[in-house]
Amino acid sequence: MSDTDSPLLLGPLLRFVGEHGATIWVETTRPALVEVHIAERSWSAPTFVVEGHHYALVIVTDLEAGREYEYTVTVDDAPVWPLPDSPFPPSSIATLQRSRPTRLAFGSCRTSVPHDEEHHRSHGVDALRTVALAMAKGAADRPDVLALLGDQVYADETSPEMIDFISARRDIDQPPYEEVKDYAEYAHVYCLAWSEPAIRWVLSVLPSTMIFDDHDIRDDWNTSWTWHQQMNQTSWWHERLVAGLSSYWVYQHIGNLAPEELAKDEVWQLVADPRTTAPGAIDLTRELRALAERVDRDPTAYRWSYTRALGDSRLIVLDSRAARVLEPNRRSMLDANELAWLDEQLAGGVQHLFIGTSVPYLLPPGLHDAEAIGESFAAPGRSAVVRKGAEAVRQVVDLEHWAAFQSGFQEVFDLVLSVAKGERGPAPSTVTFLSGDVHHSYVAEVDTSDGDVRSRIVQAVCSPIRNPMPRGIRILMSQMAKGLVRPMRWLARRTSGVDAPPFPWQLTAGPWFDNNLALAEVGDDGRMLVLSWFTGDLVEGGDPVVRKVSSVRVDGPAVPADTRDPQGASGG
């Protein structure tokens, strides 16, 4: 964390970066004016308040495309960043350039425990921290963006440091025990996640996009209607959900948005009101609590999904948790408004289309069929005994990915196929789903050899960054990708309510179970995509070093450059 005398508590985090602008997020200890300085220019923002905590998001404008700008931060004119005697290079903003091939890092599931021998044994080496240390030494190139696809914080599996904080303020023998309870505890868990020196530095130089998954709120969040009812019967769930979504808006969501999209946000408009420029004048506590409560009652009330332009590529990040429709007769991963929005965003005219969703869209085939069968057994029309048993298995074994929401899965498959067939503009070279959650990594590809499909349709999973899967479960996951594929497909065909997907898919690489950070790198020709996974190895007496775990090359079909939509990939 920051020095106790500094008004800078957390950050700076470099969030959105486009061709001509950027946003920088900070948390301060008090109301203040935060300024970002580049050479002789500066941009400022007054802090706003949520639950007694102070934040600012500074919007930096009028930058040149394809340049790197070193920046510093002051709070009320006092220099606060870089930190005194920092061992890391200066923080900088590297603006995008449309002609430069995209380099997109991604991963999910990172626990915030110490980096010592004990926790290396239990949690492995932090892959993000390892890459950060390599970047600081000049031993690794900087990606254009880091997509953190869920479980940035664990509200339900707290670290020893977090438990100490909780027990100092309340009785941990009372619900929710050692889990996060309210906004103050969420603020602290974010501080623990982002304040380790190497992590703090890398988040100040590497633009980040984020989306929640279940552990950001609680394990199995929105698995089913039964789960939702059970949680609402507890004494603590309401405050947990309100605090979780409120803090998510502050710590993650607002930094995801390009300035023009941020300006449309109903809550941000209160911050940006030109009539209230005094630090601390805007308190969003009531508005964010009301927003969280509305989202819980009606998932169509607010959109957490968003897009990022990345040169001649585009990233669409989907909310696959809060947007779920849970009523047993109309389950879907995406509500009607969310699906309509995705329909609008899915278009060709870019070289590579990335779709970020915290839970994998394409699971290992055996696991996909198992989840689809589980949804069928838990559905209305089955006997009460069968439904109850299927629901219990669904919650215990976490059968709650896209495959367990068959309606939404099929609808999205149809939309993606229309893009890949060139029905929505020139077909991209690849349509690639980027995901995490499942604590193992792999590549899967749809077999479209029998269809009029012009794009490669790929699923790339990187999980965990630091939270390894127990060894016993690894065997089962390997079988779901290989040995159990045919038996599960046979059973799925004979189960009512399980629809066969339009095209089959299979794992083309993996699974592997290292702590990893992945990189999707567009080739110089613009058509090829290289997917690589990197882990960290301990070195006696030194920092962990980066090791490449695997690399997969995806060659896209040839598409003449003059068929591309020149406006389809605005740099922002």
pLDDT in tens, 73-113: 999 999 999 999 999 999 999 999 998 999 999 999 999 99
**Cis peptide preceding 364, ω within 30 of 0:** no
Give which of 391, 110, 433 is closest to 230, Cα–Cα: 391
> How far is residue 65 from each of residues 20, 39, 311, measured CA to CA in Å?
6, 17, 10
Give domain status of residue 52, yes or no.
Answer: no
Dump strand ranges (E) for 61-163.
Answer: 68-70, 72-75, 78-81, 92-94, 103-107, 145-148
Integer Cα distance of 319 and 332 in angstroms: 12
Q: Taking phi first (over 0 means left), then psi (-120 to 50 degrees means alpha), and beta for anything else, what does residue 317 get?
A: beta
CA angle 562, 563, 566 (to 5 degrees): 75
> How far is residue 246 from each of residues 154, 218, 268, measured CA to CA in Å?
16, 15, 13
Query: For position 290, what pLDDT does the model report?
Result: 97
Tokens of 242: 């309100």
Query: For position 570, what pLDDT does the model report?
Result: 35
Query: For position 559, what pLDDT does the model report?
Result: 44
411: number of Cβ within 10 Å: 17
Give domain status of residue 169, yes or no.
Answer: no
CA torsion sign, 256 to 158 to 27 to 299?
positive
State the DSSP H helix or E strand holding residue 95, giving kind and residue range, or none if neither: none
Amino acid (one-letter) located at 567: Q
- How many angstroms separate the first and last alpha carbons of the chain? 32
- Strand, helix or coil at 344? helix
Amino acid (one-letter) located at 534: F
> How far is residue 379 from each of residues 44, 391, 407, 445, 500, measured CA to CA in Å?
54, 9, 13, 29, 18
As a dihedral over the C-alpha atoms of residue 306, residue 344, residue 330, residue 318, rounded to 10 degrees, the angle is -20
Share of the chain above pLDDT 90, in %: 87
CA angle 248, 254, 260 (to 5 degrees): 155
- Strand, helix or coil at 329? helix
The answer, yes or no, to whether residue 298 has pLDDT greater than 80, is yes
Integer Cα distance of 58 and 344 in angstroms: 29
pLDDT-derived band of residue 285, with 50, 70 and 90 as boundaries? very high
Amino acid (one-letter) located at 170: R
Beta bridge partners of 425: 423
494: number of Cβ within 10 Å: 9
Query: For position 3, what pLDDT does the model report?
Result: 55
Q: Mean pLDDT over residues 558-571, rounded? A: 40
Integer Cα distance of 528 and 268 in angstroms: 39
pLDDT-derived band of residue 132, with 50, 70 and 90 as boundaries? very high
Phi/psi at 135 (5° precision): -60, -40
The answer, yes or no, to whether residue 263 has pLDDT greater than 90, is yes
Beta bridge partners of 209: 147
Query: For position 565, what pLDDT does the model report?
Result: 42
CA angle 276, 278, 282 (to 5 degrees): 60
Query: For position 426, what pLDDT does the model report?
Result: 96
Q: Look up tokens 């290989």; give the residue.
A: 482
Give which of 318, 64, 105 is closest to 206, Cα–Cα: 105
Integer Cα distance of 490 and 512 in angstroms: 26
Query: For position 501, what pLDDT does the model report?
Result: 86
- Higher-confidence residue of 571 and 194: namely 194
**Tens-place pLDDT, residues 312-371:** 999 999 999 999 999 998 899 999 999 999 999 999 999 999 999 999 999 999 999 999
Average pLDDT of the residues of the chain: 93
Provide the number of structural domains found in the chain. 1
Integer Cα distance of 349 and 570 in angstroms: 11
Give domain status of residue 45, yes or no.
Answer: no
State the DSSP H helix or E strand holding residue 405, giving kind and residue range, or none if neither: none
Q: Mean pLDDT over residues 110-135, rounded? A: 95
Instruction: Spell out the residues 6+ positions from residue 356 whose beta carbon is closer than 8 angstroms to its own.
Output: 106, 147, 149, 209, 211, 315, 316, 317, 318, 433, 434, 435
Query: For position 470, what pLDDT does the model report?
Result: 83
CATH number at residue 330: 3.60.21
Query: For position 556, what pLDDT does the model report?
Result: 82
Give domain status of residue 141, yes or no.
Answer: no
Give which of 157, 201, 194, 161 is closest to 179, Cα–Cα: 157
Tokens of 434: 């980027």
Q: Are 322 and 333 in contact (CB under 8 A)?
A: no
Q: Are 334 and 412 in contact (CB under 8 A)?
A: yes
Phi/psi at 368 (5° precision): -55, -50
- Higher-confidence residue of 24 and 482: namely 24
**Tens-place pLDDT, residues 377-414:** 999 989 999 999 999 999 998 999 999 999 999 999 99
Give domain status of residue 129, yes or no.
Answer: no
Integer Cα distance of 478 and 398 in angstroms: 17
Integer Cα distance of 502 and 416 in angstroms: 11
What range defines the domain where residue 429 resides? 304-540+547-572
Report the largest interatomic distance among the alpha carbons of the chain, rounded to a whole angstrom.
72
DSSP 252: I
**Tens-place pLDDT, residues 487-530:** 989 999 999 989 888 899 999 999 999 999 999 999 988 899 99
Give domain status of residue 122, yes or no.
Answer: no
Give domain status of residue 314, yes or no.
Answer: yes
**Tens-place pLDDT, residues 434-478:** 999 999 999 999 998 878 999 999 999 999 999 998 887 888 788
